């Protein structure tokens, strides 16, 4: 009798755990970024629909070196920083067109890294501990990842461009080796971000206001 009770409780816990694990991310925590071949970035909170389409935000800088984060990226940086501070559980899929220059993707990931660093800097100032001395459970991590471009993404951006009176931006013709798809397939981003979204929960909560940007 006791063994049967233990078995029933175990099964119930497994079912409950699976149910909670399969819960979708609430829309307010779901921030999608699309990166076009030209470097133009689109932003949308929650699932895109015909009555709720992405908006264009600052493009990444068209730099041959792709080593500097310029004014356009900093506008995206401040927008992301405000959003993540407001909703620390935000999940950010970065959806990149395969013909996009890989340097644009590096810059977008650099912006996300800087947002994360700014939040951890604020945490270190708030608790009075140098940032290098923060424990893993005191560090904040942004949940983000790269996602493959799908036919539906073309449909979404076609509709968004029409709604905003814009034309789709094809970007320059690139040698294959400079494209995001080529670099991704050859492991250029393996050490930066997983193919799937990082769903590990944030280990710390960002302060409500920034002490330092």
What confidence tens digit (pLDDT) does each residue in 100-114 have? 988 888 888 888 989
Domain that holds residue 57: 28-185
Q: Is residue 194 part of a domain?
A: no
Q: Where are the alpha helices (DSSP H) in 69-189?
A: 71-86, 102-127, 151-164, 180-185
Residue 23 lies in a domain: no
Q: What is the mean pLDDT of residues 183-199?
A: 64
Domain presence at residue 196: no
User: Residue 3: pLDDT above 70?
Assistant: no
Give the pLDDT score at 209. Answer: 53
**pLDDT range class, residue 60, cuts 50, 70, 90:** low
CA distance 41 to 103: 14
Q: Is residue 184 predicted with pLDDT exceeding 80?
A: yes
36-44: average pLDDT: 90
Q: Residue 211 and residue 197: Cα distance in Å, rounded?
A: 29
Q: What size, in residues, is the chain? A: 213
Which pLDDT belongs to residue 39?
A: 85
Classify the phi-psi angles of 66: left when phi > 0, otherwise alpha if psi is within -120 to 50, otherwise beta.
left
- On whether residue 11 sits in a domain, the answer given is no
Residue closest to 106 by CA, chosen among 184, 199, 196:
184
The structural domain count of the chain equals 1
In degrees rounded to 5, what are phi and psi of residue 67? -110, -15
pLDDT exceeds cutoff 60 at 18: no
Residues of the chain with pLDDT > 90, as a percent, come to: 35
Q: At residue 159, does pLDDT exceed 60?
A: yes
Among residues 31, 5, 7, the alpha carbon closest in space to that of 88 is found at 31
1 located within any domain: no
- 82 within a domain of the structure (yes/no): yes
**Is the residue at 199 inside a domain?**
no
pTM above 0.85, yes or no: no
Residue 15 lies in a domain: no
């Amino acid at each position: 009798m006791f063994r049967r009770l233990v078995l029933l409780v175990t099964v119930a816990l497994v079912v409950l755990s699976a149910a909670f694990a399969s819960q979708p991310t609430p829309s307010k925590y779901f921030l999608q970024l699309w990166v076009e071949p030209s470097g133009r970035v689109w932003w949308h909170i929650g699932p895109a629909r015909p009555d709720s389409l992405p908006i264009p935000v600052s493009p990444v800088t068209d730099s041959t070196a792709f080593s500097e984060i310029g004014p356009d990226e900093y506008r995206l940086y401040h927008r992301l920083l405000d959003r993540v501070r407001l909703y620390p559980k935000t999940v950010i899929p970065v959806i990149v067109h395969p013909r996009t220059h890989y340097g644009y993707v590096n810059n977008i990931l650099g912006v996300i890294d800087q947002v994360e660093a700014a939040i951890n800097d604020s945490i270190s100032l708030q608790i009075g501990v140098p940032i290098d001395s923060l424990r893993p459970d005191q560090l904040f991590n942004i949940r983000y990842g790269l996602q493959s471009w799908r036919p539906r993404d073309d449909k979404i951006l076609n509709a968004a461009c029409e709604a905003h009176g814009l034309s789709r931006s094809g970007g320059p013709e690139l040698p294959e080796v400079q494209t995001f798809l080529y670099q991704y397939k050859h492991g250029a981003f393996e050490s930066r971000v997983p193919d799937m979204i990082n769903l590990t929960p944030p280990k710390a909560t960002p302060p409500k206001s920034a002490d330092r940007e």
